[in-house]
Amino acid sequence: MSERSNIKEQIKTRSFIVYMVFVLFVAYLLLKLSILLFINNDEWKQKISPIAVALKESKPSRGNIYDVNGKLLATSVSFFDIHMDTRAGGLTDEIFNKNVDSLAYYLSNFFKDKTKNEYKRMLVKARKKGKRYLEIAKRVTYDEYIEIKEFPLFRLNSNKGGFLSKKTTIRQQPFKGLAKRTIGLFGEDRATGIKQGKAGLEYTYNRELGGRAGKAYMKKIAGGNWTEIKGGEVLEKENGLDLITAIDINLQDYVDNILKKQLSKLKAEYGSVVVMEVKTGYIKAIANIKRYPNNTFGEVLNYAVGENLAPGSTFKLPVLMAALEDGFVDLDDIIDTGNGHIVYHGVPVDDAGNHAFGKIPVWEVFAKSSNVGMLKIVDDNYVKKGRIERFLKQLNSIGIGDISGVDIYGENKPTIKTPQHIDWAPSTPGMIAHGYEVRISPLQLLTFYNAVANDGVMVKPQIVTRIEKDGLTVKEYKPIELNPLICSKETLKKAKRVLRAVVEEGTAKAINTKQYKISGKTGTTEYYDAKLRTHNGQYRASFAGFFPSDNPKYSIIVVINRPQTDYYGALAAAPVFKKIADEIFKRDRELNPPKEVKTNQIKTPLSKNGNLQDLKIVLEETSTSVKNSDIKTKWVETEAQKENVVLKRKNIEKNIMPDLKYMGAKDAVYILEKLGLQAQINGRGFVVNQSIVAGDEVKKGMKVKLELN
């Protein structure tokens, strides 16, 4: 009996020991896990991160936007933040000590911000402290990232070499500021947190540019980043498509500069310019520039598309055409404008400059922009005869009341008051006659003028001409007719006659030229203060027209808002039109064919160095024979020989000051910005001197003064 009791006790004791051993073992595991999770959380994350796998969204690359000649207007650029995990799992003391000297040397030689010894001390100190996320560099380019990734130690991968990177992609417009609002904005939507187009073409074509996200299995690596597992794609992503626009960035650059100079000269608040091809409606340039009090400039709103305001005398064209189409007046009918002043239903109406034209024909009423004369045409033929509704209907029938349908979001329908309008007054028809109590955007008004130039065919204004994928056309945007004929051919003929008369002997005769014929109309609007019920002495000047008059190819509208001096359309806006038209005429080989160049007269083009594509255009336009035209490079130098011009590769090296002499300002600034340098320009023309000698070492952020002549 006692022996059985002893056996039972032994079994109990042994069971207790086994149980306690098990409990202690479990406790040990729990303690170890707690240490990993709570005491050394970073190390734990580092160890498990390489094996964390999840099905995640694979983001596509956003498409690019190009100008008509293939120059980038908007693109996605990737930057990388580089860090180092000095306690990576496979980074042993032996590997670290063997490579730290070489790594320090490469970092010092590459960034040139610390000595080799300073970098080595930084790396050693970080390893001693067990730093898992040591900052090496921020916002390096893709090319720099690829180079850094191959440095000693880093090339051993993230586990053995501790190399960590975080990619950030931003949307960039290489030609900063040019057509900014039209190209558009790209950023995070505050409501959804999703990055998307927010204005301009980026918004209108967001779906095409954005592509379609895919799905792929990804693994989490050190630094909290995710990388796609090879062969882990579940749903293939579709990268965004590219937009090819009608915009000519070289012309856009010129338009911007001319507009800025005029805004500065007149101390104007802002201005807009649109250049359109008559036959196609393709927009070649569109500028919307605001001038700040310190005489700097920016594009903040697309005034040309989204701002509907009273146009003033440029609206006299559709008014006169309505009366001509109805057969109520003819160009040689006489209108008595008196002394240039009347009071119409309590509202004073004056001819600009206190002119007293007296009795003049209708064509002269238009050419000299008589407000009194235009008012009388409408009052005598529509108001007094109870035909107000017919007048308004005729305006709409010729297409002046429609939206243009341009491929940019933000356009509003024009407003032409009707008797049903809350603000309609007995004076309203007379105000409409000379461009008041009407609201229309510059682009909508240009679309109408363009239709007159295009023999009555109204075409839709378009910026995008086609969509491409990998260089192949996916969709083409051909010219679109909005109205096959806005009025009779007879009315069109008369409209063209009076528009030409404005420039030949009317308000815009200062821009008349013998080289080619211009047709158009000046406009001046005085802002109205609704609270004070009076005009406030602030003006908006404009000029809309086309050229060459006999066979129009381009139409242009210029609007200058709140100029402090020379506020008439003839003084503020028409000169801008003329300068732009002159530049286009000079560039367009169809309008201005090049003279035959003999082989013994070949000369190097004025811009000896620069962008290959630009120089090819110049050489082609001057009928110059070119050698090495198939050279594969972006930047070239030219050398004139007896029978041709030789193109030579021009190398641009990182951290080395390039030779910018004989380059145009645009190319020189572009190259400097690509190198991270700041350009300061003095003068016009081509670079003749640079503050940093070619071949010298340069660092990001350095300023380079360029003297142009």
Return the closest-CA partner of residue 349 out of 424, 440, 433: 433
The helix (run of H) or strand (run of E) holding residue 83 is strand 72-84
CA distances from 373 to 361, 362, 363, 491 (A): 9, 8, 10, 19
Locate 471 and state its tokens. Answer: 């260089």
Concatenating the DSSP letter of every residue in 171-219 gives: EE-SSTTTTHHHH-EEEE-TTT--EEEEEHHHHHTHHHHH-B-EEEEEE
Which residue type is seen at 241?
L
Strand-pairing partners, residue 522, are 543
Q: Which two tokens stand for residue 5?
A: 């009791």
- The answer to whether 420 touches 296, Cβ cutoff 8 Å, is no
Gyration radius (Cα) of the chain, Å: 35
Mean pLDDT of the chain: 84
**Distance (Å, rounded) from C-alpha 635 to C-alpha 609?**
7
Contact 564, 268 (CB under 8 A): yes
Q: By percentage, how much of the chain surpasses pLDDT 90?
A: 47
| pLDDT the model gives residue 132 | 87
The better pLDDT of the pair 595, 299 is held by: 299
Over range 520-529, report the average pLDDT.
87
Q: What pLDDT, on a 0 to 100 scale, did the predictor assign at position 709?
A: 64
pLDDT above 60 for 607: no
Distance CA 470, CA 476 (A): 15
pLDDT of 434 > 70? The answer is: yes
What are the structure tokens assigned to 492, written together? 């069109």
153's CB contacts (< 8 A; 6+ apart) are 95, 96, 99, 100, 102, 103, 161, 162, 163
476-505 b/e with 16+ CB inside 10 Å = b? ebeeeebbeebbeeebbebbbebbbbbbee
Q: What is the mean pLDDT of residues 76-93?
A: 87
Q: Give the 3-state secondary structure of residue 533.
A: coil
Q: At 486, which amino acid appears?
A: I
Are the C-beta atoms of residues 499 and 508 closer than 8 Å to each other? no
Sign of the torsion formed by the C-alpha atoms of 135, 85, 145 and 72 = negative
Give the H/E segment covering residue 561. strand 554-561
Q: How far apart are CA 212 and CA 572, in angstroms?
A: 48
pLDDT-based confidence at residue 270 (cuts at 50, 70, 90): very high
Q: Which pair of structure tokens corresponds to residue 434?
A: 């000379």
Residue 602 has pLDDT above 60, yes or no: no
Which residue carries 């064209």 as its tokens? Answer: 317
Mean pLDDT of 308-333: 96
Q: How far is CA 433 from the centre of its chain?
A: 37
Q: Which residue has the higher pLDDT, 280 or 196?
A: 280
Pairing relation of β-strands 678-682 and 703-708? parallel
- Kindly list the distances between the CA atom of residue 493 and the CA atoms of 330, 563, 573, in Å, as whole numbers in the listed order: 12, 34, 25
Q: What is the mean pLDDT of residues 69-81?
A: 86
Q: What average pLDDT does range 12-29 have in this prediction?
A: 67
Read off the pLDDT of residues 527-580 as tens digits, 9 standing for 90 and up: 866 555 566 678 999 999 999 999 999 999 999 999 998 888 889 999 999 999
**Six token digits for residue 41:** 């959380």
* Residue pointed to by tokens 């050693």: 124
Q: What is the mean pLDDT of residues 102-127?
A: 92
- Mark out the alpha helices in 387-434 (DSSP H runs): 388-397, 428-433
Whether pLDDT at 31 is above 70: no
* Strand-pair partners of 218: 54, 228
pTM: 0.74
Beta-sheet strand order (sheet of 703-708) = 678-682, 703-708, 687-690
Report whether pLDDT(45) > 60.
no
Contact residues for 56 (Cβ-Cβ < 8 A; gap 6+): 215, 216, 217, 218, 226
Query: Of residues 432 and 706, which shows the higher confidence score?
Result: 432
**Tokens describing residue 364:** 């002269």
* Cβ contact 698:656 at 8 Å: yes
| Beta-bridge partner residues of 74 | 65
The distance of Cα 413 from the centroid of its chain, to the nearest Å, equals 24
Q: Contact 284/606 with Cβ under 8 angstroms? A: no
Q: Tens digits of per-residue pLDDT, 397-414?
A: 999 988 999 998 889 999
Q: What is the mean pLDDT of residues 278-306?
A: 93
- Least Cα distance to 172 among 248, 266, 73, 90 occurs for 73
pLDDT reported for residue 20: 72
Nearest to 546 by CA among 593, 488, 490, 591: 591
CA 76 to mean position of chain CA atoms:
14
Structure tokens at 615: 């120089």
- Reference 561, options 366, 304, 255; nearest CA is 304
Helix (H) or strand (E) holding 442, with range, is helix 442-453
- The pLDDT value given to residue 366: 96
Buried-state track 177-193, b at ≥16 Cβ within 10 A, e below 16: ebbbbbbbbbeeeeeee
Q: Specify the higher pLDDT residue, 647 or 494.
A: 494
Higher-pLDDT residue of 634, 264: 264
Phi-psi region of 278 (alpha: psi -120 to 50; beta: other; left: phi over 0): alpha
Higher-scoring residue by pLDDT: 71, 6 = 71
Residue 430: alpha-carbon gap to chain centroid:
40
- Phi (first) and psi of residue 321, to 5 degrees: -65, -35
